[in-house]
Structure 1
């Protein structure tokens, strides 16, 4: 019997055993990196503990990354937007310090609301999606939805006697991002159903909204003054409010591109 066999498994048998064990234990990163890490450990004369730590840390980091990707995917964002891509120079109304403070997600941890108010093209949706993505990466359950789509879903659920279940589903996520609030008028029933969702989440879980209307103009969306006042109250109590202004960044970009062409 060879000296290698006296020491234990052959290299080939050891590789096969590691591969099988990693499949059983669902450790895909260790399975993929074990051979290369073992070769590097041998070259660098790493201790057994050091080698094991390298593998386990790689598995943990990769697992965190995969979880984040799943949370971002399940949030239902329509497109990818990140804070690093936000052009603060082109949006002088938005202060980097305020946004970077929000990026810590402490407001989500505390269940506080966030209101992004400004005209079309000023970066509201970008910030809404980017901050929602930050929350998902931080471990929070996030859901993105257009205001009109949410109201339509609630109306259908009410008609099918599934309203309690639907409201509970929207109530469970840590952060509910509602985009394009104010783009269309809601009838009293739709507004009341939306109010129920906000009430379900009040002081428990965060709501972030993006609206092209200042709060004083929300009577165009919520035509019942008392209901409008109650919804504004729900969204502004203890809220973080960022006003993105009236100058369209997208329009300015288009003009620059046209001039260059």
Structure 2
């Protein structure tokens, strides 16, 4: 056991003791920065309390950053997307002010739903992942999944008598993101299982979805009208609905790039 003395300890011994203590207490940032900060403290006229505060805040910042990275990794996003990368100029249907308000994650804090509706290439999935990433960075537990994948998992869980446990697992996360809802028809059993997940989360945790179908077309996915109406109600009540439009800015960008390449080749 290391013994610390108030007097008579050399600088080298003090550094060695702090290094060992940081290893035992798992304080990697303090371990890596205390020597440089201690050297800078006299020059910056830093008090003992100021020096200690700098070290502890550096450690807190490191832990918060690592925790944020873990939440983002655990969310299972298929790719990284950020709001900084989103081209608002290319899609006039999307109001930057509304998206910036959603980026505060207050809707997740209030357990409200979010629906992103629009054709392919209009930025639905980009916004879904980017806003969910903001929520993860804000401290919320997030889970991303494709609608078909979620339903298949629920069907398999039901067959293996693990449905209750699986629904509870999806119910615990603060934000559940369901992408590509509406791309395929679900049979009644699959639709009912998805409805159970949504019911488990109702008014207790948020759900965000991205769909290429307007709500009027959801009967193609949920073929039983009453069940379809109930699912729409679960996903829209009190929440935010963002319509990303029908014009694919991704396709327009591809065309513009092709035209530019042709001009360059001709010139």
RMSD, matched Cα: 1.2
- The reply to whether residue 147 of structure 1 matches residue 182 of structure 2 is no
Q: 1:10 to 1:221 in 2, by over 3 A?
A: same
Deviation of 1:96 (Å) = 0.6
TM-score by length of 2: 0.94
Deviation readout 1:85-118 (Å, 9 max, x if unpaired): 1111011100011111111111111111000000
Name stretches of at least 5 consecutive residues in structure 1 with no aligned partner: none
- State the match for 2:109 in structure 1: 109
- State the match for 1:169 in structure 2: 169
Deviation of 1:12 (Å) = 1.5
Deviation readout 1:155-185 (Å, 9 max, x if unpaired): 0000000000000000000000000000111
- Secondary structure in 1 aligned to 2:89? coil
Deviation readout 1:103-148 (Å, 9 max, x if unpaired): 1111111111000000000000010001100111111110000000
Deviation of 1:6 (Å) = 9.4
Aligned length: 257
Where do 1:193-232 residues align within 5 Å? 193-232=193-232
- The reply to whether residue 120 of structure 1 matches residue 125 of structure 2 is no
- Cα distance in 2 for partners of 1:9, 1:248 equals 69
- State the match for 1:66 in structure 2: 66
Deviation of 1:9 (Å) = 1.8
- The reply to whether residue 86 of structure 1 matches residue 86 of structure 2 is yes
- State the match for 1:48 in structure 2: 48
- The reply to whether residue 181 of structure 1 matches residue 217 of structure 2 is no
Deviation readout 1:174-214 (Å, 9 max, x if unpaired): 00000000011111110000000000001110000000000
Name stretches of at least 5 consecutive residues in structure 2 with no aligned partner: 262-267
- The reply to whether residue 157 of structure 1 matches residue 157 of structure 2 is yes
After TM superposition, the runs of 4+ consecutive aligned structure 1 residues lying more than 6 A away are none
- Cα distance in 2 for partners of 1:37, 1:84 equals 33
- Secondary structure in 1 aligned to 2:88? coil
- Secondary structure in 2 aligned to 1:136? helix
Q: 1:219 to 1:45 in 2, by over 3 A?
A: same
- Secondary structure in 1 aligned to 2:217? helix
- Cα distance in 1 for partners of 2:8, 2:248 equals 69
Deviation of 1:8 (Å) = 3.0
